[in-house]
Amino acid sequence: MARRLAQYSESADGLTCTFFSPAHKAAALQLCEWMRSAGLRVEIDAIGNVVGRYPSPASEAQALIVGSHYDTVTNAGLFDGRLGILTALVVTEHLRCVGWRLPFHIDVVAFSEEEGIRFSVPYLGSGAITGNFDEATLQRRDANGIRLADLIGDNSASAIPGLARPASTLRGYLEVHIEQGPVLLQRDFPVAIVSSIAGSARFSISINGVAGHAGTVPMMLRRDAAAAAAKIVLAVERRCVEAPTLVGTVGQLVVPHGAINVIPGRCELSLDVRAADDSTRDAAVADILGAVEKITKCRGVTADVKEIARYPAVPCAQSLQSCFAKAIAKIGIEPFYLVSGAGHDAGMFAGLTEIGMLFVRCGNGGVSHSPLETVTEDDADVAARVLLDVLVNLGQSS
């Protein structure tokens, strides 16, 4: 199913499926077809989420949302996000086939936009359902100048606030997701229970120096913006090895109008800092920004630092972690726990309902966000059996 869904792509030589592109809309229709075939009641909502409901016999029952996202990064792997949707779909179809009805509705939700590629804003789909959609986002434009509100249409834009689910209507949120890292592979575990989703802080930093001729300005008189940026990258690395769950990344490093024979007068870089708890992350951010100030002052350049986003760490519910642990132990596997360094749609449900996540082993050395991303059939089977057990046992305890 993941391979078939990957045929809907914006690029002929890989998988790229960004928000509301023709490929994205085609993928949504394919998911609708599969959900209907599985016996679910299906709709595509105003923000492009595909929502399939396996109804409870009690019409006024709460809903347990099980899902993930179907948009992708550029040149993506087949399983990031989509593994969670398809696992939920086949498990729910199995429940229908055996006639097992639960005291809550199961809503299989394929969220429309988690990656934030097209409009540089993540979690559009899950943000709408959790009531976290910022209406100012409707005015954002993509690289081609297309405004989000114009892309989805006025009627859809005005309908987004109505997608928010009140807490009283929810039984919880579950998400199966590829690990996107090498830990399970190294430990030889097929799945892991997510204990929390790391909090993140993102910044853009512009270093302003003085451009000059590469052959005529002595080294000691230079105000090289790129050299200062290089020192900042090393400062990030030094600081972020100090705590077990702390990571820091400079993923973008650009010299605008750079040339081989010109001293860089400007350098632009990104900063992404994450940790399992907000205090660890915030302490690292403070130290790094302090280092930026010292480095730029020492090198005679200036820095313009802009915070782009800050997301709190999200603990997963102990009760759902326990459910996953019991299900994993039943099939003879030792329960193993991991912090998610990556953000997920699950994080948007913080404070609204209980959250549970299951990671599935990532092959090829743990490579993700890449065509090299792999999951074995056996590991996908384990994940489906664990999810099925959790759903059934939640139903018995409700």
39-71, pLDDT tens digit by residue? 999 999 999 999 999 999 999 999 999 999 999
Q: Which two tokens stand for residue 371?
A: 């065509």
114 with 72: CB under 8 angstroms?
A: no
8 A C-beta contact, residue 101 and residue 394: no
- CA nearest neighbour of 113 among 126, 131, 96: 126
Reply yes or no on whether the pLDDT at 398 is more than 80: no
Quick one: what percent of the chain has pLDDT higher than 70?
100
pLDDT at 269 exceeding the cut of 80: yes
Q: Which residues, including other chains, have CB under 8 Å from residue 72's CB and lie 6 or more apart?
A: 15, 16, 17, 18, 80, 81, 115, 117
Across the range 340-364, mean pLDDT stands at 96
Report the distance separating Cα 369 and Cα 6, nearest Å: 14
Instruction: Write down how long the chain is.
Output: 398
Handedness of CA 366, 114, 169, 198 (dihedral sign): positive
How high is the pLDDT of residue 75?
96
Question: At a CB cut-off of 8 Å and minimum separation 6, what does 45 contact?
Answer: 51, 128, 159, 163
- Topology of domain 199-311 in CATH is Alpha-Beta Plaits (3.30.70)
Distances (CA, A) of 307 to 267, 273, 311, 372: 17, 11, 12, 32
Instruction: Specify the pLDDT at position 319.
Output: 97
Mean pLDDT of the chain: 97
Model confidence band, residue 12 (pLDDT cutoffs 50, 70, 90): confident
Show the tokens assigned to 87.
């696992």
Residue 5 confidence (pLDDT): 98
Residues 204, 308 contacting (CB under 8 angstroms): yes
Q: For 193-239, how does the pLDDT look when each residue is reduced to its tens digit (9 = 90+)?
A: 999 999 999 999 999 999 999 999 999 999 999 999 999 999 999 99
| Helix, strand or coil, per DSSP, at residue 137 | helix
Lowest mean pLDDT among 106-110, 298-302, 340-344: 340-344
Strands 63-69 vs 302-311: parallel, antiparallel or unpaired? unpaired
Q: State the DSSP code for 265.
A: S
CATH class of 2-197+314-397: alpha beta
Q: For the chain, give the percent of residues with pLDDT over 90.
A: 97
Helix, strand, coil share of the chain (percent; to 5) = 40, 25, 40
> What pLDDT is recorded for position 170?
98
- Asked whether the domain spanning 199-311 has the same topology as the one spanning 2-197+314-397, the reply is no
Per-residue confidence (pLDDT) for residue 248, from 0 to 100: 97
Q: What is the pTM of this model?
A: 0.89
Strand 266-275 to 253-254 pairing: antiparallel
For residue 79, pLDDT over 90 is answered with: yes
For residue 280, what pLDDT band results from cuts at 50, 70 and 90? very high
Res 1: pLDDT: 97
Give domain limits for the chain. 2-197+314-397, 199-311
Report the distance separating Cα 282 and Cα 310, nearest Å: 10
- In this predicted model, what pLDDT tens digit does every residue of 119-178 receive, in sequence order? 989 999 999 999 999 999 999 999 999 999 999 999 999 999 999 999 999 999 999 999
**What is the structure's pLDDT at 156?**
97
Q: Measure the CA–CA gap between 343 and 338, rounded to whole angstroms.
A: 13
Q: How far apart are CA 357 and CA 325, in angstroms?
A: 11
Task: With a cut of 90, say whether residue 397 has pLDDT above it.
Answer: no
